Chains A and B, each alone.
Chain A
Amino acid sequence: MADTDEILLSIRGLKIEGRSEEVWSEIVHGVDLDLHRGEVLGLIGESGAGKSTIGLAAMGFTRDGCRISGGTVTFDGIELTRSSVRTRRALRGKRIAYVAQSAAASFNPAHRLIDQCTESAVHHHVMSRSEAEHDAIDLFRRIQLPDPEDIGFRYPHQVSGGQLQRAMTAMAMSCRPDLIIFDEPTTALDVTTQIEVLAAIRDAVEQFGTAAIYITHDLAVVAQMADRILVLLKGDPVEEADTRTMLAEPQEEYTKSLWAVRSFKRPEKPLAPPEETPVVSVDHVTAAYGTLTVLHDVSFDIHRGRTVAVVGESGSGKSTAARCITGLLPPTEGTILFNGEELAADYRKRSWDHLRQIQMIYQMADTALNPKQRIRDIVGRPIEFYLGLKGKKKEERIRALLDQIELEPDDFIDRLPAELSGGQKQRIGIARALAAEPEFIICDEVTSALDQLVAEGILKLLAKLQDDFNLAYMFITHDLATVKAIADEVVVMKEGKVVEAGPKSEMFRPPHHAYTDLLLSSVPEMDPDWLDNLLKEREEAGVKIESAGN
């Protein structure tokens, strides 16, 4: 909570323009916000809401191709939009610090952590190098990094992603700034790692009485971190209130729709009868990249019309399992069965019919669609290739598919992927998979790069298509909310092994395997006390929050 009523940062009528193709257009349309000393303000909105742009503008900074076109940014009595470069430079790093989304991309891989964490303190003449080193080690201890004495002397690639994100928080703290801007600091992390980082950030902010702007698209996360929340939509403020008020009684329609977004849930289908042959059966598969074995004796079945969610953290082998099924990575042991028939291990040795039956939808729709092909060609190729349709018949089929994925054919058929939004691209990815008329589709993290509202639309579409065509899905995800929404059966994986498997209703009901329990309890909830309660609970239960570093 705010320690004093003194206003640290005051933004009035902030307007920011962005340039595309030589034309300036406004992307932030007059935002006001006040931040008191020691207060944490959550900025929340979908992509394109202007959250990061406003966050950077609080430092008097805009990205290349953007400019502040109106309004004022006053930090502790200094008007940043009109001050000189020298004044702003003196503030940055010293009194205002910034924590970026991907610590892995923001640390310089050629320098040790301690060199980078002490740099701004030494540069701004706050401390000498040796004082700064002592201070950094102290900070490492406070944010609960393992081996605080030694970890600073490692290089960025020698520590884990969560540790790196915490080290970045320590780096931002090095000059004891008045304000820190956190730009989606946990978005790229696994849920179990996210907890540690959230706890570390919150402790650090509380201990030093630092004010913070916390930018995120995840409501449950912002509920834990912020005192106050500001909701943004396309560069306009929608609603602002205390966290508890905002969560309990949102006023605006848009805010309510954001709050309700996790409500989609389809009923679980009963298990398939045991005598039914599964569409795809992974049978004791072991696979390796070179000498490194990444899958150990993995088995699971996927039945017609059912969705099997494969859950696990990054590196758990869930995508590798998919590569084995598609034949991109031939397993070293075990087989893949399709309708009871053994598939060739290598996709090059499979028949066209087998290739057609197993389709894939990718996580990054950006790289999954050829940027130089029009929608007509992307969707039309599998139709021509597998079904031999040409000319008018092919055109009809493309249009029917675009109808099914709820995109207007006349409007979209001649577009290039660059002319689509993220959600629309993902829909085209689905249409391409459907065009082959498969029985089985692998969905690899298909919603994790999308905003929640858009992701929900995709999940609903996938559910509808499953009912229409009796498709079997293998749904790879790390997001348990998605699992709750769409899965019939769940397979939990860790370090290349299946930890637990069963129908969804059983998986979300105790007792669990210890790892499943850790995974389930780490999913942030909308309750602002959730993090406190969880940490207390785990401390009592003696669960080590600290996962082993590399």
Chain B
Amino acid sequence: MTIGSFALYGLGLIVVLTIAAWIVKRVAVVVAPSDYAYILKTAPLTAWFGMVVIFIYVMLAVLAPVFAPFSETAIVASEYEPWGAPYYLGTDSLGRDMLSRLIFAARNTVGIAFLTTLLAFFLGGAMGLLASTLGGWIDQIFSRAVDVLMAIPQLIFALLLLTIVGTNVVNLILVIAVLDSTRVYRLSRAVAMNVVVMDYVEAAKLRGEGLGWLIRREILPNITAPLIAEFGLRFCFVFLTISALSFLGLGIQPPTADWGSMVRDNATLITFGDPTPLMPAAAIALLTVAVNFVVDWMLHRSSGLKD
């Protein structure tokens, strides 16, 4: 397997996925109830491509033990076996099956990234909504604290914090979630500010509604579209950060499979013209592109543009 034929296979995969996306779109438009059919029909092919890819990743992550031919950690052969049955993508520097590890890594990397993003949104979103609704000194305290956190380059700050608190999965999730929540805070505060000044919020305040009602019923439903779009984008950044940290050795710890560290562990092979270390990198790239396709479509919908 040379790098050239690797690129050719990649191209072939993209074509297959595009055709699959087109077919799924046709089927979905017919099958979906009429309320959603219009939304699905107007979704561009890129969005369908993204949805199909994300669906495949989710299935692989959830059903990893079913799809993977070997265990995540078992040493099954000598190191750096070439591609070929039963090790379809060869073996790594310790003789573990690459394909199995790639599939299990989907579960680890994507799962952890998803949890982290969720937590970041919960933190940042809640603080942003509170700041914009209450205003005054609460807004000042939150905003200045966020400014301080954002003033330090994120990756370096993450490295620093992880060195202090020690590297394990829980710390990893907490540190990245806190750092990323600053971005979510900025966005949710900004979009909520536009809603807070609306007359219907004023009417609810004058009615005597409490903070909970104002945030949950009057403001949140009107800012969900940009927040969901941001969720997709933020998710990409988070798992790129996790992969980067793993590549640097401070992320998910061995022997747990993870795309970032898999690139690092097998990096030497690239000097021999073997594309194996590119596989996890390609997995990261494909998911990033797919998520962005879907997010683009959602942003377009929430912006209300006609063309």
* Residues of A that sit less than 8 Å from B by CB: 19, 21-22, 64-65, 326-328, 347, 350, 352, 355, 358, 360, 362, 364, 367-373, 381-382, 385-386, 432, 436
Contact = CB atoms under 8 A, between A and B. Distances in A.
Given A65-B306, A65-B307, A385 B207 contact: yes
Given A367-B198, A372-B222, A373-B221, 6 more contacts: A64-B306, A352-B208, A360-B206, A367-B200, A368-B200, A370-B198
Centre residue among A21, A64, A372 by max chain B CB count within 10 A: A372
Contacts of A64: 306-307
B208 A385 contact: yes
B208 A355 contact: yes
A19 B306 contact: yes
Contacts of A386: 207
A21 B221 CA distance: 23
Contact of A369 (B42, B200, B207, B307): B200
12 contacts: A21-B38, A22-B42, A65-B307, A328-B206, A347-B206, A350-B208, A360-B203, A360-B206, A367-B198, A372-B221, A382-B207, A386-B207
B200 A355 contact: no
A371 B221 CA distance: 9
A433 to B, nearest CB: 9
B243 to A, nearest CB: 37
Centre residue among B200, B202, B217 by max chain A CB count within 10 A: B200
Interface residues of B, number: 18
Interface of B: 38, 42, 198-200, 202-203, 205-209, 217-218, 221-222, 306-307
A367 B203 CA distance: 10
Contacts of A362: 199, 203
Nearest to A372: B221
B57 to A, nearest CB: 31
A19 B306 CA distance: 9
Nearest to A20: B306
Q: Secondary structure of the B side of the interface?
A: helix
B199 A364 contact: yes
Contacts of A22: 42
B206 A326 contact: yes
Contacts of B222: 370-372
B203 to A, nearest CB: 6
A393 to B, nearest CB: 19
Centre residue among B202, B208, B306 by max chain A CB count within 10 A: B208
Nearest to A359: B206
Contacts of A369: 200
Nearest to A377: B217
A22 to B, nearest CB: 7
A240 B153 CA distance: 69
Contacts of A371: 222
Contacts of B200: 367-370
Contacts of B208: 350, 352, 355, 385
Contacts of B198: 367, 370
Given A372-B221, A372-B222, A355 B207 contact: yes
A364 B198 CA distance: 10
A364 B203 CA distance: 13
Contacts of A370: 198, 200, 217-218, 221-222
Contacts of B38: 21
A327 B206 CA distance: 8
Nearest to B223: A372
Contacts of B209: 385
A370 B306 CA distance: 23
Contacts of B199: 362, 364, 367-368
Nearest to A352: B208
Contact of B206 (A355, A364, A381): A355
Nearest 3 interchain pairs by C-beta: A372-B221, A368-B199, A370-B200
Contacts of A327: 206
